[in-house]
Structure 1
């Protein structure tokens, strides 16, 4: 039954046709059982009275007007012939038409129609000599009930439509938030992969170049460079495994990288092994800050030193200062710049990745050439992340 009701909601003309058929069936039952001398005339008038109900929702004004005109016509025909019964059950179509105007059009149109109903009722009482109090009171009650029902059901329908609209908006917002979360996660993982791969590959390239130059003249240095390449490759592979594990349903938390002061010292040692003199200065307690901030500091230092190794020209040097302050962590990486004009920003993805990482941590980042020709990266990362 519920299925059938839901099916009818999507087919208003079918539902209205069924309502018109019910009203006409009442007409047939009354006039075939009453023994009236002219039942076919009555049935034709009843049919024309009920017929406009079929289109009451598709053309509400026209249907309501047709029902009212037919009702007035029945009154005049009954008055003219004199022996016809004017009590048509199909006259309930007037109440249905009033309900339709209130629910689907507007109150002003329904009020004008109610005036027409009052005129029709007055003509019927006057011309057919019906009892004033009984007929008038019955008409008022039926039409008032029709109006009140339309108001109630119209308000409920408007509420349902608003709820449906809100659900659509909520579904859209939920889908959009899910898409944003997926995009943010993909960006984060891409940034991690870039940091790991770019750093490791840069170090390995520098070491390989050094080994190729020293292979004939100084085999010991070449051997040390090859050892550093292997060590860097293994460490990069381990980092890649940790990063890829983030894509799994249950990441291996025991293998998560340890950063802090030990991680910074390891990065600096690796860069020194690659031939980049690095001075490291750590101030304050850096091992008890949040993992997100600690990872941010680690990646900033790693990416900045990798850029120095790539682009700072001949005999590069770098200085790393990490200072924990009262509300934030200050990270400064400065290279000598070499004043040779060989400094290059490359593709810019490294600096862009640093800016994205700092923005995620609600910090600030400044990067640029100083007046003495050096290049400085300065980042401030708040200790307490905002929600």
Structure 2
């Protein structure tokens, strides 16, 4: 029975046709009281036809039903037939339909037409009895009240459905954003690992090729660096790929710290890059996320120096742990010889950035990855040319992320 009710709910013409048939049946049962039975049956059929379309075309059906009711009143007056059609109960049904499915304003207009029709009926056919008048008023009042209840229920159901739709959309959007963020993070990690390792390997391989005959020791050292770089890159690639294979696996971030930074600097020195490192404060106790961010920023900056700074490049790395954040300054000479700028802890290197990175050709995925990483950590990044034609990277990484209220 419940399944049949749900099936009827989606087919208003069928359910309204059943209601019209019930009203017509009541008319047929009272046809014996009419003098002109044929005219009585025709009017009965005409009265129930608008009921079939009460929810499909509510305004038009209501207007047609009132006009037919008024015509019935005039016909009774002209033919001196005082018999009443039970199908006129459809007037209350139509009032309920307008209030519940269209609105109170249309319901008030329709109620005014009903009052006019009832007044015309009383004037033409005769003064009604007190019981008939009370029944008519009570019937219309019950139809209006029931329509208010059903209309409120429909509004509540519509609001719940809208909220569920919004919740589903938000859920899908959050899932899509999470997947996109995860893909971006993994792509950023892969780029940092592969770009750094491949750059070092290419430089060392070229050096080994030229030094193979004249300086075998230097060539052997270069090959050792290549092998070590390849192993480190393979280990980090395996860790990153493992995140893709295990669903919902928590990421175990490596704690690079001072040893990791020193290893990167030593590896870059082995490739021929003149790097100076200055550490101010303890960075081995920062969170793994901040430690990885520091490591990747330094690694990517020195890799860019190795690839783009030209012959005899120099780079200066300063990492300072302040009270609430970590300050990073990586400055290179751009291939031009320059005196190193050493300062005290708390003093920034004289970067003198003259142009933002977005205005300098050649800003690629490395800079995009650094910006994304700094944004995730809640810090700031400034990248650009220095006054002597070099390249400067200044980053600020907060030690503790503020939790929103």
Q: Shared topology, TM-score over 0.5?
A: yes
Superposition map of 1:1-387 within 5 A:
1-31=1-31, 34=32, 38-82=36-80, 84=81, 86-129=83-126, 131-249=128-246, 256-339=253-336, 346=362, 348-387=364-403
Residue 40 of structure 1: how far off its partner (Å): 3.8
| Contact map agreement 1:125 1:132 (CA 8 A) in 2 | no
d(CA) in 2 for partners of 1:200, 1:107: 73
Matched positions, count? 381
The change in CA–CA distance for 1:159 and 1:253 in structure 2 (over 3 A counts) is closer
Whether the aligned pair in 2 keeps the contact of 1:283 and 1:324 (CA below 8 Å) is: yes
Query: Aligned partners of 1:58 and 1:76: how far apart in 2?
Result: 28
Question: CA shift at 1:125, angstroms?
Answer: 3.7
Q: Is the 8 A contact 2:334 2:390 kept in 1?
A: yes
Take 2:157 and 2:275, find their aligned partners in 1: how far apart are those partners? 68
The CA distance in 2 between the partners of 1:347 and 1:104, in whole Å, is 60
**Gaps in structure 2 of 5+ consecutive residues:** 338-359
Counterpart Cα distance in 2 of 1:81 and 1:253: 89
Deviates more, 1:94-103 or 1:195-204: 94-103
Name the SS for the 1:365 alignment partner: strand
Query: Deviations 1:302-353 (Å, cap 9, x if unpaired)?
Result: 001111111112222222111100111001112222338xxx9645221221
- The answer to whether the 8 A contact 1:245-1:251 is kept is no
Unaligned runs of 5+ in 1: none
Whether the aligned pair in 2 keeps the contact of 1:311 and 1:345 (CA below 8 Å) is no
Distance apart, 1:223 and its partner CA:
1.1
How many angstroms does 1:126 deviate by?
4.4
| TM-score (normalizing by structure 1) | 0.91
Give the CA deviation at 1:358.
1.0
Question: What is the deviation of 1:208?
Answer: 0.5
Contact 1:207–1:226 (Cα < 8 Å) also in 2: yes
